Structure 1
Amino acid sequence: MMVPERRYSWLRLLLKYRGTALPRMFGRLLFTTLLAAAVTVTDLKFGFFHPDLTTIPFTLVGLSLGIFLGFRNNTSYDRFWEGRKLWGALVNTTRNLTRQILTLVGQQPGAGSNGVPEVDPEALETFRREMVHRLIAYVHCFRMHLRDQDRLDELSPMLTATEIESLQGETNRPVAILQSMGYRFRDAWQRGWIHPQHLPILEQSLTALTDIQGGCERIKNTPIPLSYTSLIHQIVAIYCFALPFGIVKSVGYLTPIVVCIVAYAFFGLDAIGDEIENPFGMDANDLPLSGLSRMIEVNLRQRLGETDLPPLLKPKHGLLT
Structure 2
Amino acid sequence: MIIIDRRSWLAQVFMFKGTTLTVIWKRVAVSMAVAIGVTWTSQHVPEFHPKLTHLPFTLIGLALSIFLGFRNNTGYDRFWEGRKLWGRMVNVSRSFTRQLLTLIGPRMIDAQGDHELAAEEREQVEAVRGELVHALIAYVHAFRHHLRDEDSLDELRGLIPDELRASLIDEYNRPVAILQWLGDRLRWLYDRGWVHPMHLPALEDSLTEMTSVQGACERIKSTPIPASYTVLIHRIVLLYCVGLPFGIVDQVGAWTPVVVGLVAYAFYGLDSVGTEIENPFGKDPNDLPLTTLSRMIEVNLRQRLGEDRSALPELLEPDDGILQ
Q: TM-score range by the shorter chain?
A: over 0.9
CA distance in 2, matches of 1:197, 1:48: 89
Q: For 1:8 and 1:19, locate their aligned partners in 2 and report how far apart those are by CA, in whole Å.
A: 18
1:43-82 maps to which residues of 2 (within 5 A)? 43-50=42-49, 52-82=51-81
Distance 1:29 1:8, change over 3 A: farther
Identity of aligned residues (%): 58
Deviates more, 1:44-53 or 1:78-87: 44-53
- Post-superposition Cα deviations, 1:211-270, rounded to whole Å, max 9, x if no partner, equal 000000000000000000000000000000000111111100000000000000000000
Deviations 1:130-157 (A, max 9, x none): 0000000000000000000013111102
| Unaligned ranges ≥5, structure 1 | 113-117
TM-superposed deviation, 1:5: 4.8
Q: Secondary structure at the match of 2:235?
A: helix
Question: Which has the higher mean CA deviation after the structures are superposed, 50-59 or 124-133?
Answer: 50-59
Q: State the Cα distance separating 1:35 from its structure 2 match.
A: 1.2
In 2, the alpha carbon distance for the partners of 1:48 and 1:156 equals 73
Partner of 1:185: 186
Aligned to 2:280: 279
Alpha-carbon distance between aligned partners in 2 of 1:8 and 1:243, rounded to the nearest angstrom: 36
Residue pair 1:83, 1:216 contacting (<8 A) in 2 also:
yes
The 3 A distance-change label for structure 1 pair 106 and 53 is same
Q: Which amino acid aligns with 1:102?
A: L
Q: Is the 8 A contact 1:281 1:287 kept in 2?
A: yes
What's 2:314 paired with?
311
Give the C-alpha shift of residue 81 in structure 1: 0.2
Q: The residue matched to 2:234 in structure 1 has which SS?
A: helix
Give the corresponding residue for 1:298: 299
Rate the CA distance shift 1:157–1:253 in 2: closer, same or farther, 3 A: same
SS of the residue aligned with 1:320? coil
Tell me the residue number matched to 2:323.
320
Equivalent-residue separation in structure 1 for 2:46 and 2:174 (angstroms): 66
Contact 1:54 1:246 in 2 (8 A): yes
Match of 1:277, SS?
coil
Question: 1:135 and 1:158 mapped to 2: Cα distance?
Answer: 9
Tell me how far apart the structure 1 counterparts of residues 46 and 29 of structure 2 sit (CA, whole Å).
Answer: 24
Contact 2:24 2:272 in 1 (8 A): yes
Q: 1:135 to 1:111 in 2, by over 3 A?
A: farther
Mean CA deviation greater in 40-49 or 70-79: 40-49
Distance 1:130 1:226 in 2: 44
The more displaced of 18-27 and 103-112 is 103-112
Question: 1:130 and 1:246, CA in 2 relative to 1: closer, same or farther beyond 3 A?
Answer: same
1:196 maps to 197
Structure 1 residue 160 displacement after superposition: 2.4
Runs of 4+ in 1 over 3 A off after TM superposition: none
Within-5 A mapping of 1:230-241: 230-241=231-242
Alignment-derived partner of residue 114 in structure 2: none
SS in 1 for 2:108: coil
CA offsets, 1:256-306, max 9 Å, x none? 000000000000000000000000001110000000000000000000001
Query: CA separation in 2, counterparts of 1:86 and 1:289?
Result: 11
CA contact (8 A) 1:42 1:48 kept: no
Residue in 1 aligned with 2:160? 159
Which residue in 1 is equivalent to 2:173? Answer: 172
Q: Separation in 2 of the partners of 1:51 and 1:237?
A: 19
Q: Is the 8 A contact 2:134 2:160 kept in 1?
A: yes
Q: How many residues align?
A: 315
How far residue 317 of structure 1 moved from its aligned partner, in angstroms, is 1.4
Structure 2: state its 5+ residue gaps. 112-116
Between the aligned partners of 2:227 and 2:46, the Cα distance in structure 1 is: 41
Residue identity matched to 1:136: I
**C-alpha separation in 2, matches of 1:122 and 1:298:** 22
1:43-93 C-alpha deviation (Å, 9 max, x unpaired)? 111134435421000000000000000000000000000000000000000
Alignment partners' CA distance in 2, 1:248 and 1:8: 40
Of 161-170 and 131-140, more deviation after overlay is shown by 161-170
Root-mean-square deviation (CA, aligned residues, Å) is 1.3
**2-side partners of 1:22 and 1:246: how far apart?**
25
Deviation at 1:38, TM superposition (A): 1.1
Report the 3-state secondary structure (helix = DSSP H, G, I; strand = E; otherwise coil) of the residue aligned with 2:277.
Answer: helix
Note the C-alpha offset of 1:111: 6.8
Question: In structure 2, what is the Cα distance between the partners aligned to 1:67 and 1:153?
Answer: 46
